[in-house]
Amino acid sequence: MDHKVALITGGATGIGKQTAIQLAEKGCNVVINYRNSALEAETLANELNRRYGTKNIEVQGDVANSSDCERMVSKAMEVFQKIDILVHNAGPYIQERKPLTEYEMDEWNYLLQGNLTSAFYLAKLVIPSMRKQKWGRIITMGFDRVETAPGWIYRSAFAAAKTGLASLTRTIAIEEAKNGITANMVSPGDIKSEWKEKTIADAVSYMKSAPERRREGTGEDIARTIAFLADEKSDLITGCILSATGGMDVLGKVFREND
């Protein structure tokens, strides 16, 4: 993927950071979007520049804001003149568990804008240039079994947004197939916060230190899945929702009131 340009939303930390590393390692120039993590984004861009010799920049913006999305894409186009790969990793999440009736209007709207409408903003901005070059990759993020439109107790806004995003991703795949653009969704397993920036080697080492431990999912696991879908030879794979859960029943907990 030498000289391809990838825009990664929420790319400064966590799974986004591991994705930036994975794509830069494969020769991509990376646009690292962040909302608040300015230092982390700048540090990562400089690290990728040194380690892989690619050209990487950081750009601030809240994906829930259409004008921010326009500015992010404009900056990327100014520097690189194209965006080949869009990894829509950013998406707000409210840790507090509460039923639908306890959501404030602003909370509900922000979760839908940040997780669903933001994908529309960005896709609308990047697809025209992808069409011109007859090549593009759009990768979104879901949750286990999102394609079945499951209910998720106390997570109504997030679940509704991601379910809508699954349908939108598949619609883009159908509409843009003739233009050489693929669109797929990756659904991570239950990856704990402290494992989002860790590697597969970290997980294997952790498991070996106590064999009764299960294999933890890591940011690298998801980043490798994203990189596979972004690869030039993955052009036949589109409209897919690919789970990376390690065989765990991740969704089982969403029906239980105590999880």
Q: Mind spelling out the 3-state secondary structure of 103-123?
A: CCHHHHHHHHHHHHHHHHHHH
Q: What is the mean pLDDT of residues 237-244?
A: 96
Confidence of residue 257 (pLDDT cuts 50, 70, 90): low
Per the structure, the complete domain to which residue 156 belongs is given by 5-193+219-255
Report the CATH number at residue 60: 3.40.50.720
* For residue 248, pLDDT beyond 80: no
Q: What percent of the chain has pLDDT over 90?
A: 78
Q: Which residues pair with 88 in a beta bridge?
A: 140
Tens-digit pLDDT profile for residues 128-144: 999 999 999 999 999 99
Q: β-pairing, 5-8 with 241-244? A: unpaired
Residue 207 lies in a domain: no
Is 14 inside a domain boundary? yes
Q: 204 lies in a domain?
A: no
What pLDDT digit, counting tens, does each position of 56-86 carry? 999 999 999 999 999 999 999 999 999 999 9
For the chain, counts of helices (H) and of strands (E): 8, 7
Task: Judge whether 239 lies within some domain.
Answer: yes
10 CB-side CA count, 13 A: 20
Based on the structure, what is the number of domains in the chain?
Answer: 1
Residue type, 109: N
Q: Does residue 206 lie within any of the structural domains?
A: no
Q: Which of 173, 141, 140, 146 lies closest to 159, judged by CA?
A: 146
Q: Model confidence over 94-112: pLDDT tens digits?
A: 989 999 999 999 999 999 9
In a domain, 152, yes or no: yes
Q: Is residue 60 part of a domain?
A: yes
User: pTM (2 decimals)?
Assistant: 0.93
214 within domain boundaries? no
Give mean pLDDT, residues 182-205.
Answer: 89
